[in-house]
Structure 1
């Protein structure tokens, strides 16, 4: 396991309570991949991860290895490089029964294609000859292709489209309801071919508008996701020269919202440079500047798994250039706070979620692309020493007691020393209490470290991550106590 830790900060937990920020652990699960750009699952109970490679392949990680035979290989159809390529895969909500999955790729003309494929008789291999073209969208430039596909809680397919590229959205596509560029689209792929437009889409009856549009005002939405518990939608939008942003749509809120580009970049006027917001634009819940080498936001997920309670309620996003990972949390009145959780060496191209809600990140590289599973060590906000009391003279071996409970992945190390500075000490691991041997006055597993008579002994407790080899210290009790052994 690779553990990379940022400085401890404070985040808001459920109900707005303050808790220590988790220390993230990134566990390498797959490597030797050619530019992974998307990670998803089929929702079929198989536990497999489907990894989209930019060159036009989808490969399967079955929990132990990446299968040698691709699930799908459409490289002859895909123009790959820069921001182009096979960019996303989404499995139909009823995939287990109908075998349908959808891809977003750049064709050889440089345009966006949304296509449906079917699985073959082999559940680990899709049928490359089963393609049904759902939608094709002209791209005027070589960048800002969007590329995200995601089925929403209503069973409709959501599609992220960039503004078509070029500096500053020169054609003002993102604000133009007559084009699909710079939008989040919503279509129904469950009835009629190639698709139908949901009757409650916001611009179905607007003259001159495309009915597929669900929201607009995006520059290049690079990864959006639905919260598996609340159905809220998070949309990360890549900025121009100065600001990256994360947007939020609470489930049940009115649709047809304008997220601002090119009027605004993040919370700042772009074009025009002043008086850009008439009060109707939806502002981001998080933004960051391009200082310190940051350049491009990668949107993630709000954690909904069960293995790492320290991550509950945190929405993760990253910067592609610096590898920094932030966590955003909402308090009880709807205000958001972002905390830097990890400064990694990765080029993070995407986050992913498995069937159980556990999260992953991808490192973009060829041939050394990799997938990491996100874990956490819950930090200790403090360690309280309970017994024995400070300064006691002991005639019988003590039992050391402290709090709070460390959690499943954490533990404690009790340290004893004859020096208040702990210039030398001996220690052993325990959880909440440690009893000295009543005969030898030795710590468990430390029979050669007996406490000498007529000595003052100092003790403290360290909180450690037991999931690391060797255990890694997270925090040390601020209090040091002592006792005197007669």
Structure 2
């Protein structure tokens, strides 16, 4: 801060002695309406959304912002980004300049020529500037007064740490044991047209939070308001609950700012210390024990809000949820969104945060406002219930530009963590009605290649944000690589890579296009089992560029790491639960009539691999593991259904190897053709193996065509009697070798794989041929 003198609001004695623990003025008490012992939890609150894509956005790189680092140096990997840019907007002066704040300190102006200017750096302006702990700390937001061109005024919010808290009095009492504080500042530029700031500033609001999350995320003016309107020149501030909303009444209490949207007049003087004004039209003005600044309440993390430039100019809020739900609200003054009594349109229980509960019969008496659109976290089945599963809504924009009529009236938003993009119709999102359906939006690069945002940023954690220019055209930006993209075209969505016939029985599907945002060493499953696959030993490095078919951007690399050394470092993949109950999410394979294992394989190295456990230096494994479902009593090797290369009568063959009964004999169906002809090195090949346990029939397919082959064992090793496989859950899936629990190495595969599918039926030849054709785009 140097020798600068910060303006600090004088806080009245009455305000300083206000109790943050006072009973809530309006809204329910913390215990009222909580789920009871007899209430059934809802584990999948919104199973129908998001729906399949109807359109796609073509993204063209617009700008690359400089690399920056947090202050102090972070210990949380989620903060270790290229930079932490979090918004793009246009300066309201007709200059065409775009502004971009970076949580790490700088604010940039971008000219039409693409030239960048560091307009202001908060690291130089406040010696207590703090951005190195907590996802939202730092230079949070900047907004320009609607008359900026004339008065040069703009407003920022940034955070300070404990030293800054100790040196400055807050506008209202900090939350107990506050360790981060949000500071709202008014700046007045000497020359509004300049590309670097010179001028004066004054602090107008300061409030401290008990944790380093859910502080003040956005401040903004309503750009649809015109002179003479109630809203014109009023500043909105989205104040989070400071992480204190779970199990407390903080977001419901009207005597403190946390968990609210505030609305103030920055040019007024009737607020605390005369720093700002409290509009008479605010809903709680004059209410006893209530802050007049409150516009709406009952929020956890009101992350991003916007106004529809047309229609009725409604405010839309993207509200980040706890462990189960992300929601979009239409917000009007006086609204109570219900947190933490409610999570969206459900009851919330702080003890079981990943499940929700039905509304009580007397719910209308509370008067809560519910979402107009929402999607649930749909956390992986093998992920801890109350852990972060990597979802947080990134509130977006209602498109009202002129270039893309296909987007007209759509609210475009997304998930800031994994970078998924969604849309819904603004005109149909009505308060008090059922939620409007959410639709997935596909993304394409400027060459027309379909990609996910994780491909654009080369990272499973995207940190996605949205913005628009003065013409209403849409931009996407990401902290992961510090880039901004402009939407330059809209095209119809491409069909799913999975046919309907396969989708009906698809238990597990791993296409290696879905890194788990919380942990890139895991792949998110796309089948009904919704189960994470571990990328063993190689982690996220195993997910490599290039796929097996058009539209695939990534594949899985598997390999033997040290051919001459016994160890547990081979690259393989799988999932494992050695308990007697096995992997519960794979229960579709419990007493299954049939199974299909299929996927793309490309041999990339020497197969079979050397066997370092043998005394013979020339010894090789007698098998090459591809992919399979383990049996219910497996040690990580024995299988219920497996696609593999294995020695048959001393000769390596491509086989389907299956077992109907746990502990029973296996049967093998071996292809007649030489495996090296079937799997030429360096060539992608689609393979499938089918197992019908009720008849004992097995089959192999290559590129959609059946392979000639024969059974290895005589007689009936499966003990076929028309009934299905054992009534046990598999202990897992193995890919590229045995023992997915990584206790031993066996049968590694020096190969790449793509789009592995595991079905709970023995698919017929036409189903497999149609799926192969779909991959090929035929």
Answer whether TM exceeds 0.5 for this pair: yes
User: Are the equivalent residues in 2 in contact too, given 1:117–1:128 (CA < 8 A)?
Assistant: no
**Matches of 2:261 and 2:407 in 1, distance apart?**
28
**Correspondence 1:172 to 2:260:** no
1:333-372 aligned within 5 A: 334=430, 336-342=436-442, 343-345=452-454, 346=457, 347-365=462-480, 368-372=481-485
**CA-CA distance at 1:50 after TM superposition:** 0.1
Match for residue 25 of structure 1? 58
Tell me: CA distance 1:53–1:246, structure 2 relative to 1, closer, same or farther (3 Å).
same
Structure 1's consecutive aligned runs of 4 or more residues displaced over 6 angstroms after TM superposition are: none
Tell me: CA distance 1:63–1:127, structure 2 relative to 1, closer, same or farther (3 Å).
closer
**Correspondence 1:150 to 2:202:** no
Quick check: which has more Rg, 1 or 2? 2
**Correspondence 1:57 to 2:106:** yes
Match for residue 36 of structure 2? none
**Matches of 2:417 and 2:51 in 1, distance apart?**
25
User: Are the equivalent residues in 1 in contact too, given 2:159–2:183 (CA < 8 A)?
Assistant: yes
Tell me: CA distance 1:56–1:206, structure 2 relative to 1, closer, same or farther (3 Å).
same
**Matches of 2:217 and 2:347 in 1, distance apart?**
26
User: Are the equivalent residues in 1 in contact too, given 2:239–2:257 (CA < 8 A)?
Assistant: yes
Q: What runs of 5+ residues in structure 2 fail to find an aligned partner?
A: 1-49, 67-82, 166-179, 226-230, 351-356, 381-388, 443-451, 495-778
**CA-CA distance at 1:170 after TM superposition:** 4.5
**CA-CA distance at 1:380 after TM superposition:** 9.1
Tell me: CA distance 1:125–1:244, structure 2 relative to 1, closer, same or farther (3 Å).
same
**Matches of 1:340 and 1:332 in 2, distance apart?**
17
| Match 1:278 to one of 363, 368, 387 | 363
| Match 1:40 to one of 58, 80, 89 | 89
User: Are the equivalent residues in 1 in contact too, given 2:216–2:238 (CA < 8 A)?
Assistant: yes
**Matches of 1:332 and 1:224 in 2, distance apart?**
18
Segment drifting more, 331-340 vs 178-187: 331-340
Segment drifting more, 324-333 vs 191-200: 324-333
**Matches of 1:256 and 1:122 in 2, distance apart?**
35
Match for residue 15 of structure 1? none
**CA-CA distance at 1:66 after TM superposition:** 4.0
1:358-402 deviations in whole A, cap 9, x for unaligned? 11121013xx31111123324399xxxxxxxxxxxxxxxxxxxxx
**CA-CA distance at 1:35 after TM superposition:** 1.3
> SS where residue 251 of structure 2 aligns?
helix
1:425-466 deviations in whole A, cap 9, x for unaligned? xxxxxxxxxxxxxxxxxxxxxxxxxxxxxxxxxxxxxxxxxx
| Match 2:121 to one of 73, 97, 109 | 73
**Matches of 1:266 and 1:284 in 2, distance apart?**
6
User: Are the equivalent residues in 2 in contact too, given 1:35–1:54 (CA < 8 A)?
Assistant: yes
**Correspondence 1:374 to 2:487:** yes
Higher relative contact order (CA closer than 8 Å, sequence separation 6+): 1
User: Are the equivalent residues in 2 in contact too, given 1:232–1:248 (CA < 8 A)?
Assistant: yes
Match for residue 103 of structure 1? 156
> Cα RMSD over matched residues?
2.7
Match for residue 389 of structure 1? none
Match for residue 92 of structure 1? 145
**Matches of 2:373 and 2:51 in 1, distance apart?**
16
User: Are the equivalent residues in 2 in contact too, given 1:105–1:147 (CA < 8 A)?
Assistant: no
> SS where residue 208 of structure 1 aligns?
coil
| Match 1:219 to one of 300, 313, 321 | 300
1:94-140 deviations in whole A, cap 9, x for unaligned? 11100100001112342011101122337234546612111111211
User: Are the equivalent residues in 1 in contact too, given 2:137–2:159 (CA < 8 A)?
Assistant: yes
**Matches of 1:21 and 1:106 in 2, distance apart?**
41
**Matches of 2:248 and 2:202 in 1, distance apart?**
31
**Correspondence 1:328 to 2:424:** yes
**CA-CA distance at 1:196 after TM superposition:** 0.4
**Matches of 1:159 and 1:31 in 2, distance apart?**
29
**Matches of 2:291 and 2:429 in 1, distance apart?**
35
Kindly tell me the number of residue pairs found equivalent between the two proteins: 360
User: Are the equivalent residues in 2 in contact too, given 1:183–1:214 (CA < 8 A)?
Assistant: yes
**Matches of 1:169 and 1:187 in 2, distance apart?**
27
| Match 1:261 to one of 316, 339, 347 | 339
User: Are the equivalent residues in 2 in contact too, given 1:118–1:126 (CA < 8 A)?
Assistant: no
**Matches of 1:79 and 1:170 in 2, distance apart?**
28
Q: What runs of 5+ residues in structure 1 fail to find an aligned partner?
A: 1-8, 12-19, 382-486
| Match 1:297 to one of 375, 393, 409 | 393
1:182-201 aligned within 5 A: 182-192=259-269, 193-201=274-282
User: Are the equivalent residues in 1 in contact too, given 2:375–2:438 (CA < 8 A)?
Assistant: no
Match for residue 206 of structure 2? 136
Tell me: CA distance 1:92–1:126, structure 2 relative to 1, closer, same or farther (3 Å).
farther
**Correspondence 1:236 to 2:318:** yes
Normalising by structure 1, we get a TM-score of 0.69
**CA-CA distance at 1:341 after TM superposition:** 0.4
**Matches of 1:303 and 1:47 in 2, distance apart?**
19
| Match 2:413 to one of 307, 317, 324 | 317
1:217-256 deviations in whole A, cap 9, x for unaligned? 110011110111231110011111111111113xxx6x20
User: Are the equivalent residues in 1 in contact too, given 2:474–2:487 (CA < 8 A)?
Assistant: yes
**CA-CA distance at 1:338 after TM superposition:** 1.2
Select the structure that is richer in helix: 2
**CA-CA distance at 1:144 after TM superposition:** 0.7
> SS where residue 80 of structure 1 aligns?
coil
> SS where residue 257 of structure 1 aligns?
coil
Select the structure that is richer in strand: 1
Match for residue 115 of structure 1? 185
**Matches of 1:100 and 1:308 in 2, distance apart?**
33
